[in-house]
Protein backbone atom coordinates (compact mmCIF):
# COMPACT_ATOMS: atom_id res chain seq x y z
CA UNK A 1 0.00 0.00 0.00
CA UNK A 2 1.20 3.52 -0.71
CA UNK A 3 1.22 6.21 1.97
CA UNK A 4 -1.00 9.23 2.40
CA UNK A 5 1.42 11.96 1.30
CA UNK A 6 -0.74 14.79 2.66
CA UNK A 7 -0.47 13.60 6.27
CA UNK A 8 -3.05 13.47 9.04
CA UNK A 9 -2.83 16.95 10.55
CA UNK A 10 -5.78 19.06 11.65
CA UNK A 11 -4.94 21.41 8.77
CA UNK A 12 -5.29 18.54 6.29
CA UNK A 13 -8.61 17.53 7.85
CA UNK A 14 -9.87 21.08 7.29
CA UNK A 15 -8.64 21.01 3.68
CA UNK A 16 -10.53 17.77 3.05
CA UNK A 17 -13.69 19.25 4.53
CA UNK A 18 -13.33 22.38 2.37
CA UNK A 19 -12.82 20.21 -0.71
CA UNK A 20 -15.85 18.05 0.03
CA UNK A 21 -18.10 21.03 0.68
CA UNK A 22 -16.99 22.90 -2.42
CA UNK A 23 -17.37 19.94 -4.78
CA UNK A 24 -20.56 18.41 -3.40
CA UNK A 25 -22.80 19.11 -6.39
CA UNK A 26 -20.13 18.44 -9.01
CA UNK A 27 -19.09 15.06 -7.63
CA UNK A 28 -22.18 13.88 -5.77
CA UNK A 29 -25.16 15.44 -7.54
CA UNK A 30 -25.86 12.00 -9.02
CA UNK A 31 -24.70 9.89 -6.06
CA UNK A 32 -27.64 8.34 -4.24
CA UNK A 33 -28.56 4.79 -3.26
CA UNK A 34 -31.94 3.06 -2.87
CA UNK A 35 -33.40 2.94 0.63
CA UNK A 36 -32.58 -0.27 2.42
CA UNK A 37 -29.19 -0.68 0.72
CA UNK A 38 -26.01 -1.55 2.58
CA UNK A 39 -23.08 0.51 1.28
CA UNK A 40 -19.37 0.30 2.05
CA UNK A 41 -17.41 3.55 1.98
CA UNK A 42 -13.86 2.26 1.64
CA UNK A 43 -11.11 4.62 2.80
CA UNK A 44 -13.47 7.07 4.48
CA UNK A 45 -10.68 9.04 6.18
CA UNK A 46 -12.00 11.78 8.44
CA UNK A 47 -15.51 11.45 6.99
CA UNK A 48 -15.31 14.37 4.56
CA UNK A 49 -17.39 12.47 1.97
CA UNK A 50 -19.40 10.50 4.54
CA UNK A 51 -21.49 13.52 5.45
CA UNK A 52 -22.69 13.99 1.87
CA UNK A 53 -23.30 10.29 1.34
CA UNK A 54 -25.37 9.98 4.50
CA UNK A 55 -27.45 13.05 3.73
CA UNK A 56 -28.06 12.12 0.07
CA UNK A 57 -29.26 8.62 1.02
CA UNK A 58 -30.88 8.80 4.48
CA UNK A 59 -32.51 5.37 4.08
CA UNK A 60 -29.18 3.62 3.49
CA UNK A 61 -26.86 1.97 6.00
CA UNK A 62 -23.23 3.04 5.45
CA UNK A 63 -20.29 1.03 6.77
CA UNK A 64 -17.30 3.39 6.63
CA UNK A 65 -13.83 1.85 6.82
CA UNK A 66 -10.31 3.25 7.04
CA UNK A 67 -6.89 2.04 8.13
CA UNK A 68 -6.14 5.11 10.25
CA UNK A 69 -7.48 5.01 13.80
CA UNK A 70 -6.96 8.77 14.18
CA UNK A 71 -8.97 9.47 11.03
CA UNK A 72 -11.77 7.20 12.20
CA UNK A 73 -11.89 8.98 15.55
CA UNK A 74 -12.31 12.27 13.69
CA UNK A 75 -14.98 10.74 11.45
CA UNK A 76 -16.92 9.44 14.46
CA UNK A 77 -16.82 12.89 16.06
CA UNK A 78 -18.08 14.47 12.84
CA UNK A 79 -20.92 11.95 12.60
CA UNK A 80 -21.92 12.58 16.21
CA UNK A 81 -21.77 16.37 15.78
CA UNK A 82 -23.92 16.19 12.63
CA UNK A 83 -26.27 13.62 14.21
CA UNK A 84 -25.80 11.08 11.44
CA UNK A 85 -27.68 7.95 12.42
CA UNK A 86 -27.12 5.81 9.32
CA UNK A 87 -23.33 5.40 9.49
CA UNK A 88 -20.93 3.15 11.38
CA UNK A 89 -17.14 3.00 11.33
CA UNK A 90 -14.60 0.20 11.30
CA UNK A 91 -10.83 -0.02 11.07
CA UNK A 92 -9.50 -2.22 8.29
CA UNK A 93 -7.06 -2.72 5.42
CA UNK A 94 -8.30 -2.07 1.88
CA UNK A 95 -6.30 -5.05 0.62
CA UNK A 96 -7.81 -7.39 3.22
CA UNK A 97 -11.40 -6.29 3.66
CA UNK A 98 -12.88 -7.67 6.89
CA UNK A 99 -16.20 -8.57 5.27
CA UNK A 100 -17.73 -11.74 3.86
CA UNK A 101 -18.22 -12.20 0.13
CA UNK A 102 -21.26 -10.52 -1.40
CA UNK A 103 -22.42 -8.63 1.68
CA UNK A 104 -22.78 -5.10 0.23
CA UNK A 105 -25.21 -3.70 -2.31
CA UNK A 106 -22.80 -0.93 -3.31
CA UNK A 107 -19.26 0.28 -2.65
CA UNK A 108 -18.12 3.92 -2.75
CA UNK A 109 -14.46 5.00 -3.00
CA UNK A 110 -13.30 8.62 -3.27
CA UNK A 111 -9.71 9.93 -3.51
CA UNK A 112 -8.34 6.60 -2.33
CA UNK A 113 -6.93 4.68 -5.32
CA UNK A 114 -4.39 7.44 -6.01
CA UNK A 115 -2.61 6.48 -2.78
CA UNK A 116 -2.43 2.73 -3.45
CA UNK A 117 0.49 0.83 -4.96
CA UNK A 118 -1.85 -1.86 -6.34
CA UNK A 119 -5.24 -0.31 -7.16
CA UNK A 120 -6.39 -3.33 -9.21
CA UNK A 121 -5.94 -5.58 -6.17
CA UNK A 122 -8.03 -3.20 -4.07
CA UNK A 123 -10.70 -2.96 -6.78
CA UNK A 124 -10.88 -6.76 -7.01
CA UNK A 125 -11.42 -6.86 -3.24
CA UNK A 126 -14.28 -4.38 -3.52
CA UNK A 127 -15.82 -6.58 -6.22
CA UNK A 128 -15.63 -9.59 -3.91
CA UNK A 129 -17.72 -7.97 -1.19
CA UNK A 130 -20.37 -6.77 -3.65
CA UNK A 131 -23.51 -8.73 -4.34
CA UNK A 132 -23.98 -9.80 -7.98
CA UNK A 133 -25.39 -6.76 -9.76
CA UNK A 134 -24.01 -4.43 -7.09
CA UNK A 135 -22.16 -1.30 -8.14
CA UNK A 136 -18.84 0.33 -7.37
CA UNK A 137 -18.48 4.11 -7.61
CA UNK A 138 -14.96 5.56 -7.76
CA UNK A 139 -13.94 9.22 -7.84
CA UNK A 140 -10.34 10.30 -8.46
CA UNK A 141 -8.49 13.42 -9.55
CA UNK A 142 -5.71 13.78 -12.10
CA UNK A 143 -3.07 16.41 -11.39
CA UNK A 144 -2.01 16.30 -15.03
CA UNK A 145 -5.37 17.87 -15.90
CA UNK A 146 -4.50 21.10 -14.07
CA UNK A 147 -3.88 24.27 -16.03
CA UNK A 148 -4.14 27.95 -15.29
CA UNK A 149 -3.90 31.47 -16.65
CA UNK A 150 -1.54 33.26 -16.50
CA UNK A 151 0.50 30.17 -17.40
CA UNK A 152 3.57 29.63 -15.23
CA UNK A 153 6.46 27.21 -15.64
CA UNK A 154 7.19 27.58 -11.92
CA UNK A 155 3.58 26.70 -11.02
CA UNK A 156 3.81 23.65 -13.27
CA UNK A 157 6.99 22.64 -11.43
CA UNK A 158 5.45 22.78 -7.95
CA UNK A 159 2.44 20.72 -9.09
CA UNK A 160 4.83 18.22 -10.67
CA UNK A 161 6.61 17.95 -7.30
CA UNK A 162 3.38 16.63 -5.79
CA UNK A 163 3.02 14.12 -8.63
CA UNK A 164 6.58 12.87 -8.09
CA UNK A 165 6.26 12.71 -4.30
CA UNK A 166 3.09 10.65 -4.60
CA UNK A 167 4.79 8.30 -7.09
CA UNK A 168 7.74 7.93 -4.70
CA UNK A 169 5.29 6.95 -1.95
CA UNK A 170 3.78 4.26 -4.17
CA UNK A 171 0.73 6.13 -5.45
CA UNK A 172 -0.37 7.79 -8.68
CA UNK A 173 -1.56 11.41 -8.76
CA UNK A 174 -2.49 10.94 -12.44
CA UNK A 175 -4.81 8.01 -11.81
CA UNK A 176 -8.02 9.71 -12.97
CA UNK A 177 -7.22 9.03 -16.64
CA UNK A 178 -6.74 5.33 -15.81
CA UNK A 179 -10.10 4.63 -14.16
CA UNK A 180 -11.70 2.91 -17.15
CA UNK A 181 -8.93 0.32 -17.77
CA UNK A 182 -8.44 -0.22 -14.04
CA UNK A 183 -12.10 -1.08 -13.48
CA UNK A 184 -12.17 -3.34 -16.54
CA UNK A 185 -8.97 -5.12 -15.46
CA UNK A 186 -10.49 -5.68 -12.01
CA UNK A 187 -13.43 -7.55 -13.51
CA UNK A 188 -16.25 -5.00 -13.48
CA UNK A 189 -18.94 -4.95 -16.15
CA UNK A 190 -20.72 -1.99 -17.76
CA UNK A 191 -17.92 0.39 -16.81
CA UNK A 192 -18.65 4.06 -17.48
CA UNK A 193 -16.38 7.01 -16.63
CA UNK A 194 -17.37 10.68 -16.76
CA UNK A 195 -15.09 13.73 -16.41
CA UNK A 196 -16.08 16.33 -13.84
CA UNK A 197 -14.31 19.60 -14.65
CA UNK A 198 -13.82 22.44 -12.17
CA UNK A 199 -13.37 25.73 -13.98
CA UNK A 200 -12.70 28.85 -11.91
CA UNK A 201 -12.65 32.53 -12.85
CA UNK A 202 -13.54 35.82 -11.16
CA UNK A 203 -17.25 35.26 -11.77
CA UNK A 204 -17.12 32.27 -9.39
CA UNK A 205 -15.78 33.63 -6.08
CA UNK A 206 -16.93 30.62 -4.07
CA UNK A 207 -14.76 28.35 -6.21
CA UNK A 208 -11.82 30.75 -6.05
CA UNK A 209 -11.82 30.44 -2.29
CA UNK A 210 -13.13 26.90 -1.85
CA UNK A 211 -11.25 25.16 -4.64
CA UNK A 212 -8.31 27.17 -5.98
CA UNK A 213 -7.16 28.48 -2.59
CA UNK A 214 -8.38 26.04 0.05
CA UNK A 215 -8.32 22.78 -1.91
CA UNK A 216 -5.75 22.67 -4.71
CA UNK A 217 -3.21 25.31 -3.69
CA UNK A 218 -3.38 24.21 -0.05
CA UNK A 219 -2.76 20.59 -1.12
CA UNK A 220 0.33 21.53 -3.12
CA UNK A 221 1.63 23.80 -0.35
CA UNK A 222 1.47 20.87 2.06
CA UNK A 223 4.35 19.02 0.36
CA UNK A 224 6.81 21.92 0.41
CA UNK A 225 9.23 20.44 2.91
CA UNK A 226 9.21 17.05 1.21
CA UNK A 227 9.86 18.60 -2.21
CA UNK A 228 12.79 20.64 -0.94
CA UNK A 229 14.25 17.76 1.10
CA UNK A 230 14.09 15.43 -1.92
CA UNK A 231 15.83 17.98 -4.11
CA UNK A 232 12.94 18.13 -6.57
CA UNK A 233 12.95 21.91 -6.72
CA UNK A 234 14.81 24.91 -5.36
CA UNK A 235 13.32 27.14 -2.69
CA UNK A 236 13.19 30.20 -4.96
CA UNK A 237 11.38 28.31 -7.74
CA UNK A 238 9.00 26.80 -5.20
CA UNK A 239 8.08 30.19 -3.78
CA UNK A 240 7.56 31.64 -7.26
CA UNK A 241 5.41 28.67 -8.28
CA UNK A 242 3.17 29.00 -5.24
CA UNK A 243 2.88 32.75 -5.79
CA UNK A 244 1.88 32.10 -9.41
CA UNK A 245 -0.80 29.60 -8.33
CA UNK A 246 -2.18 32.26 -6.00
CA UNK A 247 -1.94 34.77 -8.86
CA UNK A 248 -4.66 32.83 -10.70
CA UNK A 249 -7.21 33.99 -8.10
CA UNK A 250 -7.02 37.60 -9.28
CA UNK A 251 -9.63 39.23 -11.51
CA UNK A 252 -7.89 38.23 -14.75
CA UNK A 253 -6.87 34.73 -13.64
CA UNK A 254 -8.43 31.34 -14.40
CA UNK A 255 -7.92 27.83 -13.07
CA UNK A 256 -9.05 24.44 -14.30
CA UNK A 257 -8.90 20.86 -12.99
CA UNK A 258 -10.69 17.63 -13.88
CA UNK A 259 -11.95 14.83 -11.66
CA UNK A 260 -13.12 11.48 -13.03
CA UNK A 261 -16.06 9.44 -11.73
CA UNK A 262 -16.28 5.79 -12.66
CA UNK A 263 -19.05 3.26 -12.09
CA UNK A 264 -18.85 -0.48 -12.60
CA UNK A 265 -21.05 -3.48 -11.79
CA UNK A 266 -20.19 -6.84 -10.32
CA UNK A 267 -21.27 -9.43 -12.92
pLDDT tens per residue, range 119-150: 999 999 999 999 999 999 999 999 999 999 99
Where do the domains of the chain lie? 10-265
Mean of the per-residue pLDDT values of the chain: 93
pLDDT digits 0-9 by tens, 69-91: 999 999 999 999 999 999 999 99
Over range 88-112, report the average pLDDT: 97
Q: What is the DSSP letter of 214?
A: I
Give the global pTM.
0.91
- Which of 119, 127, 111 is CA-nearest to residue 40? 127
The pLDDT value recorded for residue 24 is: 87
Rounded Cα distance between 8 and 197, Å, is: 27
Q: Let me know: does 82 contact 136? Beta carbons within 8 Å.
A: no
Q: Looking at the domain that runs over 10-265, which CATH code has it been given?
A: 3.40.50.150
pLDDT of residue 10: 60
Rounded-to-integer distance, Cα 233 and Cα 212, Å: 22
d(CA 114, CA 83): 30
Cβ-contact 165, 152 below 8 angstroms: no
Q: Verify cis geometry, omega within 30 degrees of 0, for the bond prior to 95.
A: no
- Report whether 99 contacts 128 (CB < 8 A): no
User: Which residues lie across from 87 on neighbouring strands?
Assistant: 62
Q: What average pLDDT does range 96-119 have in this prediction?
A: 97
Q: What is the mean pLDDT of residues 177-206?
A: 97
The whole-number pLDDT of residue 7 equals 47
What is the pLDDT, as a whole number, of residue 88? 98
Angle, in degrees to the nearest 10, between helices 153-168 and 235-247: 110
Length of the chain: 267
Amino acid sequence: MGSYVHGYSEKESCRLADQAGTLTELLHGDTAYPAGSRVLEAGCGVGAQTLTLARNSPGVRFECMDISRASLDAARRMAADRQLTNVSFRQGDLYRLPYRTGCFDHVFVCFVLEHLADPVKALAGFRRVLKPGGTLTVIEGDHGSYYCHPRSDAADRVVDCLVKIQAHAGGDALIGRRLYPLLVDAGYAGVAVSPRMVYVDASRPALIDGFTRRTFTAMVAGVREQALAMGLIGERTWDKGMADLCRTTRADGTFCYTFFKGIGTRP
